[in-house]
Amino acid sequence: MNSLRFKIILASVLLLIVFLTGVIGFRMIMDLTWIDAFYMTAITITTVGYREVVLPSDEAKIFITILILSSVIILGFVVSVITEYFISFSSLNDLKYKRKLKKIKKMENHTIVCGYGRNGQQAAQKLIDFHQEFIVIDKDHDLLEQSVLETNQFIIGNANEDEVLQQAGIERAKNLITALPNDAENLFIVLSARQLNKNLRIISRATEETSYKKLKLAGADNVILPDKIGGQHMASLIVSPDLLEFWDNLSYGDEKGVNLEQVSFEQLFNHKNSCSILELDLRQKTGCTIIGFKSANGDYVVNPNPETKLTPDSKIIVIGNSKQIKVLQEVYNINP
């Protein structure tokens, strides 16, 4: 690229020199005005063959001949440099695209986000905050190019197409979020994704409540209705404003003030032996309080009994201030 940049600068300088030489030469040799000298230089260098302003003298003819020969050589060089630039620019784009695909092929257990609208952008930003690997798929080239996403974090294409999903590494992905505004498109993506990866966790957005069951039948693990959630939230702020304000202030994974943490049995222990919540004694060790429990078969328990057994594949939900959560992460070597 440095060599090409030098050629572009050299071509520009030579073109400017030959043009200025022509203007000054016609001005002095043929005693033309600056406008006429500019005009004569332009038609001479471009060899368009328009009528001369005045008939040239023998001296002027020699000058014009030299100017034509030198300008033809220089213009040829300029054209070759421009051609080389466009070819190399195209090759550079191809190289960048190949590098992007190569990086994506190395990704495993990542998340695919289909659609980069309002909900898709929020999902992507949250994944960035959690330092999670993800790929965004959207058809809007300008939207993706102007976004905060890095080049290897998005693919321009239609997520409805299996080939595009495969480019995003659907077979190796762990999660898929489909956040398109059209329920039919979300349904089609869920069907395709479930066929391509049976173990994929799929979270889909839905606009209509009638689409909920269809998306679940198609293979979505979770279906989110943003409008319904928003309406319920606003109504709850009237019924129990203090409770909702407190809940809104809770966060998960926020470096400024982490309040909630999900911890699996495998993060707590390096063995397969069960242990009760009481025996774990998490409050004494870290200051955090266990407020929820998810069993290995997926059942949730709020405020679990101290005698509840923690078993492989089970999880606990804990609450604490930022300092307590940090102690929890340090004691059990949990990556924040």
Q: According to the 3-state scheme, what is the secondary structure of 125-153? A: HHHHHCCCCEEEEECCHHHHHCCCCCHHH
What does the pLDDT profile of the chain (336 residues) look like in tens digits?
Answer: 567 677 778 888 888 888 888 888 888 888 788 888 888 888 878 777 666 767 777 787 788 788 878 888 888 888 888 877 777 665 656 666 677 778 888 889 999 999 999 999 999 998 988 788 999 999 998 898 888 888 888 999 999 999 999 999 999 999 999 999 999 999 999 999 999 999 999 999 999 989 999 999 999 999 999 888 778 778 877 877 777 677 666 655 555 555 788 899 998 888 888 889 999 999 999 999 999 999 988 889 999 999 999 999 999 999 888 888 888 888 888 775
Neighbours of 313 (CB within 10 A): 12
Give the whole-angstrom CA distance, residue 252 versus residue 176.
20
Report the CATH architecture of 252-331. 2-Layer Sandwich (3.30)
0.85 surpassed by pTM: no
Residue range 108-231, CATH number: 3.40.50.720
Is the CB of residue 112 less than 8 Å from the CB of residue 165? yes
CATH of domain 2-103: 1.10.287.70
The residue ranges of every structural domain in the chain are 2-103, 108-231, 252-331
22 with 67: CB under 8 angstroms? Answer: yes
